Amino acid sequence: MSSQLYFQLITPLIFLVFAMGFGLIYRYTSDQDSARYFAISYLFGAIAFVLDICRSLIPGIIDNMVSNLAYMLSAGLFSVALMAHYRRKKPWAVLSIIGLVALCTSYYFMLIDDDMAVRALVLNFFGSLLLGYPVIALRGMKRRPIDRLIYWVVAFTVVQFQLRTIIVLMIEGSTLSEETYSGSLSAVTFQLLTSVSALLMALALFAMFGMEIVLKLRRNSETDILTGLLNRRGVEAKLPEFENALANGVKSHGVLVLDIDHFKEVNDTFGHSAGDEVLVACANLLKELKVEQSIVSRVGGEEFNVVLYNVDENTAKLVAEYACSAFSNLTHPAIDNKVVTVSIGVALWDVDASFAEATRKADTALYRAKSGGRNRVVVARTKIVQFQTRGAERRAS
């Protein structure tokens, strides 16, 4: 086997390896649909280069027609993959039109007016349009460093397609033919620069997918799966910000501990599925508090915690009273439109106490709220505030 053939096989091998890599990402991640399109794009790229190598084994017209189609599909699907990854509309219609015009024009200069130099210029030009669509569509989008890297690698690939083609055709355009193509400067530079571009793009994309998978794993480890709220680990990750604020002059934060009243009876009467729906609805209500920089978490069972940033006792009490009132007026279809109430303990977290100490005080206040009749707010070392339930007879107890 000649050294030239070894060199030619490197490019389809690179494309095939990365196609398999993207396929594995798609196979083992549930939210990376773009990886499927990247995998198919790289697969078509591998097929196209293999067909280029097999020019001597397959009739020229058939080989050219199929390889040109594979190249266009590879470029177009890559653009679709990028658009899909950034949650943009997949431009099937536009890319299909560009690809169809490219193929029809190249087939014209193959079957009717045979001119390989013009055909190469046409295919590279329209291939650049297909690959360059995201460069225009995603321009100005706020990006992470890895996204900017991918953007500029794609832009570089588009530019090099154009410049390389023009320069090479100026050098050897008049001598380029089917017989001389395999060893021509056009073929060698195309394979080399495409290999480099494909490698750079794939490595950047794998880095991006890796970062997103790690971020997702971290987010899942810090998030309650049922409600989407933070769990204990998620709260601990955010506490340093609150601790730093206390060290830098913020006087206090508010800590609210909420517990759904008679939740066991909800599960026993309506089932755990209905209980889960109630928990989700309660979590959504807490999310709607929209207190700036607050932490809302589910710490287990029917218990929730809210940490309010830079508030005094009166503000923390007002937020707790609002939440208690809102719960007592929220009906739940899953339990025959009954309401569930909450008891809330409130405490202040200041520079003289730790978060754990403030939470213990709020827990003690919650216990007082429970033992005092439920559906009420108790602030540590202060009086009880009770709330009326919307239609007492509708309460799930």
Exactly one of 178, 222, 292, 302 is catalytic; which is it?
302
Per DSSP, the residues of 73-141 read HHHHHHHHHHHHHTT----HHHHHHHHHHHHHHHHHHHHTS--HHHHHHHHHHHHHHHHHHHHHHTTT-
Which uninterrupted H or E stretch holds 378?
strand 376-379
Residues linked to residue 256 through DSSP beta bridges, in sequence order: 306, 346
**Sign of the alpha-carbon dihedral angle for 190, 196, 199, 205:** negative
Task: Count Cβ atoms below 10 Å from residue 13 Cβ, excluding itself.
Answer: 14
DSSP 31: S
Q: Is 225 helix (H, G, I), strand (E, B) or coil?
A: coil
Residue 302 is a catalytic residue = yes
- pTM surpassing 0.85? no
Q: What is the pLDDT along the chain (397 residues), one digit of tens a residue?
A: 555 666 678 889 999 999 999 999 999 887 788 999 999 999 999 999 998 887 766 666 887 889 999 999 999 999 999 999 999 999 999 999 999 999 999 999 988 998 888 988 999 999 999 999 999 999 887 678 999 999 999 999 999 888 988 998 889 878 887 777 777 888 888 888 888 999 999 999 999 999 999 988 888 899 999 999 999 999 999 999 999 999 999 999 999 999 999 999 999 999 999 999 999 999 999 998 867 789 999 998 999 999 999 999 999 999 999 999 999 999 999 999 999 999 999 999 999 999 999 999 999 999 999 999 999 999 997 544 555 555 444 444 4
User: Do 110 and 100 touch, CB atoms closer than 8 A?
Assistant: no
Per DSSP, the residues of 122-173 read HHHHHHHHHHHHHHHHTTT----HHHHHHHHHHHHHHHHHHHHHHHHHHHHG
Interval 268-324: pLDDT, tens: 999 999 999 999 999 999 998 867 789 999 998 999 999 999 999 999 999 999 999
